[in-house]
Amino acid sequence: MSQEPGPADDRDPQDVDDTTHAVPEPDPANTPEQEIAIEQGFVDRVYDRVDVLRGEAEGNRDSGYAHLAATVPGAQYERDVFVYRAARRIADLDSQHEGLVFGRLDFDNGSVRHVGRLGVRDDVYRTLLVDWRAPAAAPFYRATAVDRQEVARRRVIRSFDRSVEEISDDLLNEDAAERLPVIGDGALMAALGRKRTGRMRDIVATIQAEQDAAIRAPGRGATIITGGPGTGKTVVALHRAAYLLYQDRSRYEAAGILVVGPSAVFMKYIGRVLPSLGEETAALFSLGELYAGVEATRQDRPEVAAVKGGTIMLPILRRLVRQTPPSAPAELRIVYRGDVFKLDTAELGAVRARVFEKEPRPNLAKTEAGRALLIALWRKIKPVVPEAEPAKFSRDVGSRGEFLTFLDHWWPDLDPAEVLGWGGDERRLGSAAEGHLKRHMVESVAASLQESDFSIPDVALLDELRILLGVKPQSRGRDRIRTWDGIQEVSTTQDRYYDRPERQARDAFYEDYAHVIVDEAQDLSPMQWRMLGRRGRAAGWTVVGDEAQSSWPRPRESADARRSAVPRGRVHEFHLTKNYRNSKEVFEYAAAWAKPRLRDIDLPEAVRETEVPVREKKVDADALLPELAGAVAEALEAVEGTVGIIAPYSRHGELAGLVHDDRVTLVGPLESKGLEWDAVIAVDLEAVAEAHGPGVAYVVLTRATQRLTRIDPA
Ligand SMILES: Nc1ncnc2c1ncn2[C@@H]1O[C@H](COP(=O)(O)OP(=O)(O)OP(=O)(O)O)[C@@H](O)[C@H]1O
């Protein structure tokens, strides 16, 4: 637990029970409008208080008040400014989410507790609103008809901006119907049925009990969250980051939380969730961005990716870093006391090998290389010039400009990108890969390394080379504490006056995270696990995935790499069982397709029906484009939100013209991981399965919230 209190929460021992407050006497005869008005009264009260806090914070700023004791436990000022800051941040976001106040619990004893995005206290520091992450908010998510936890009625309040629009009640104690009105029909179903916008929303108002348990698991050790498609693994992982920041802010803000997902498109999709929860300090990186200065988005061909991601690359890279750099001179010539002495290519090769016996990382071995050259020269000089003295020889030759210039060229500082580039030369790669890769694979991998940009699998190789070469750590990347699209960074009084640890700017090489969250973990290659493992040696881990959706061909190799990356210790396992994304119709279709093709498939239960069946069409090659154009138009007509076309990469050129509306996107099967659209048009599914395996085709089939159309060439 943190030494500091949580932000304006209810965890001070003296007032831990003070989370309830007075509200108008309930009347079971109230109409929905009357109940909305009652909640509006409360919401207004909270915002009024936030406005006061904001005024105070601004006043303090203006009078130049320096708050020096901010880290003293119980500093109320700190909490209030936090409220101000977070409330402002939330207000800055467009209202895709439920408002600041979104929940209310009525207990059997008549007391009432309101739950919101953050904690707010009134002017005498009594709790007005409980932060959703506080223990006192847990019954809002955990109470069920069987285990009520003294909750009589749970209410979800939906508002836009400051205005309450809708109420949805869940009566847990039937006897309470006599005193409490029950209004609305199901906040969860309403949330699931809402149109998708291309940006993931937070789910604070409707987190389900099994999800809540995973969110609140202890931060230390490894938390493993599994579940089939659409069970909320991603959204749970993100709420977990917010939870950890809340319950131990000093630890997780100081050392950082890393969230890793498969692609840049995916990171953009999930990018709003944490800011909408008032948290912006987590570092979000896709697998293609974990090497500073590189932003890879390109996929390799599956067979090339399977090689590049495997531990088979380790001996190959080790040999590669020992090769003579292409620009190295082939011969060293030195004139000493009138005689010419030479080291030829073979002799230089032997010297190089000797250096590596002493120091395997070339960038740390330059001094050793100079020494080894002088020794080799000395062995030649000694018989010819018997009167020469070794110390004098070393001083004399070792300080000559021509010798130092030779050393610089023969043993240059190596950059990982440059060394990986050597692999583009078939001869060099072939020599490094001898005994490990067949000829045709050497050709394919070398060809892929000749591309002008790096692929996503290349990034893990670059990171491995960084270690193998002994690249000195230096900050070269951009500041990865992100500011979010369209949101100005707000300079707050907290930022200015507070003596807390500064939020660190962490580049992609930062290695001391307190917690690492890995999404779509089933797809990580062994080399990618190694890259991640380096960044969280002392971290707690949250590993989220579904084996059936895997595109990695050798799961056992990957599991071993994962065990090495994630430190041993306590393991907390959670399994999510309900599919909240797909309609029953879509999911049953996907499951029927996948069951015979995938072993040990983990099938969740889809909770929502739409009565819209999946449509399948087979068309001749020349009719494909018009058919697709028709399907896109139809989908745009049928749904309010987004439409996704998921097609093999080889068809993207011919299909690009179909994307003529903001709501439509065209993606490859691998980029579709983790994403969702209201309507999906899956093109040539069998080709997807053939190229990437049935797991990826199953991913494609489970992306639609409402309508799925399959179009295949005849
Ligand atoms: N409790 C909930 N309340 C509202 N929406 C939810 C809830 N749980 C999940 N969802 C929604 O269901 C959809 C699927 O969630 P998410 O993407 O996190 O699932 P996933 O398990 O990561 O899926 P996949 O493995 O298929 O990528 C999202 O739109 C998410 O917001």
pLDDT for 379 beyond 90:
yes
pLDDT for 71 beyond 70:
no
In this structure, the answer to whether residues 432 and 544 fall within a common structural domain is no
Residue 200 Cα to ligand 1 midpoint, Å, equals: 9
What is the phi/psi pair of residue 341, to 5°? -120, 145
* Section 612-633 average pLDDT: 95
Residue 237 Cα to ligand 1 midpoint, Å, equals: 10
Of 206, 223, 251, the residue at which a domain comes to its end is 206
pLDDT for 66 beyond 80:
no
Domain count, the chain: 5
Most ligand 1 atoms within 8 A of CB, residue of 132, 140, 170, 192 to mutate: 192
In this structure, the answer to whether residues 175 and 48 fall within a common structural domain is yes
pTM of the model: 0.88
Q: Tens digit of pLDDT for each residue in 223-259?
A: 999 999 999 999 999 999 999 999 898 899 889 999 9
Ligand 1 pocket residue status of 579, Cβ below 6 Å: no
**Any domain includes 81:** yes
CA-CA distance, 223 to 216, in Å (whole number)? 10
ipTM over 0.90: yes
The overall average pLDDT reported for the chain is 87
Ligand 1, atom 8: nearest CA belongs to which residue? 232
> In 3D, which of 667, 704, 645, 712 has the Cα closest to residue 685?
712
Instruction: Tell me what pLDDT residue 479 has.
Output: 36
Q: Tens digit of pLDDT for each residue in 312-346?
A: 999 999 999 999 999 999 999 999 999 999 999 99
Residue 192 Cα to ligand 1 midpoint, Å, equals: 9
Residue 351 Cα to ligand 1 midpoint, Å, equals: 59
In this structure, the answer to whether residues 170 and 37 fall within a common structural domain is yes
pLDDT for 350 beyond 90:
yes
Least confident window among 131-135, 171-175, 302-306, 557-561: 557-561
Least confident window among 15-29, 204-218, 550-564: 15-29
**Any domain includes 120:** yes
Most ligand 1 atoms within 8 A of CB, residue of 518, 578, 580 to mutate: 580
Ligand 1 pocket residue status of 580, Cβ below 6 Å: yes
Q: Which residues are annotated as a binding site for ATP?
A: 227-234
In this structure, the answer to whether residues 706 and 680 fall within a common structural domain is yes
Which ligand 1 atom lies nearest to the CA of residue 196?
29
Least confident window among 4-8, 142-146, 166-170, 661-665: 4-8
Which ligand 1 atom lies nearest to the CA of residue 702?
26
**Any domain includes 339:** yes
**Between 665 and 125, residue with greater pLDDT:** 665
In this structure, the answer to whether residues 56 and 197 fall within a common structural domain is yes
Ligand 1 pocket residue status of 229, Cβ below 6 Å: yes
In this structure, the answer to whether residues 486 and 546 fall within a common structural domain is yes
**How many Å is the maximal CA-CA distance in the chain?**
113
Residue 219 Cα to ligand 1 midpoint, Å, equals: 22
pLDDT for 137 beyond 90:
yes
CA-CA distance, 197 to 496, in Å (whole number)? 36
pLDDT for 68 beyond 80:
no
Of 424, 452, 469, the residue at which a domain comes to its end is 469
Ligand 1, atom 15: nearest CA belongs to which residue? 232
In this structure, the answer to whether residues 649 and 665 fall within a common structural domain is yes
Of 363, 392, 410, the residue at which a domain comes to its end is 410
> Which domain covers residue 168, as residue numbers?
13-206
CA-CA distance, 311 to 25, in Å (whole number)? 67
645: helix, coil or strand? strand
pLDDT for 160 beyond 90:
no
Instruction: Tell me what pLDDT residue 341 has.
Output: 95
**Any domain includes 503:** yes
- Token reading at 122: 């009134």
In this structure, the answer to whether residues 534 and 587 fall within a common structural domain is no
Q: Tens digit of pLDDT for each residue in 558-588?
A: 889 999 999 878 999 999 999 999 999 999 9
- With a CB cutoff of 8 Å and minimum separation 6, the contacts of 48 are none
Ligand 1, atom 26: nearest CA belongs to which residue? 229
pLDDT class for 493, splitting at 50, 70, 90?
A: very low
**Any domain includes 3:** no
* E strand residue ranges, 474-593: 515-518, 540-545, 571-576, 578-583
What is the phi/psi pair of residue 164, to 5°? -75, 130
Ligand 1 pocket residue status of 608, Cβ below 6 Å: no
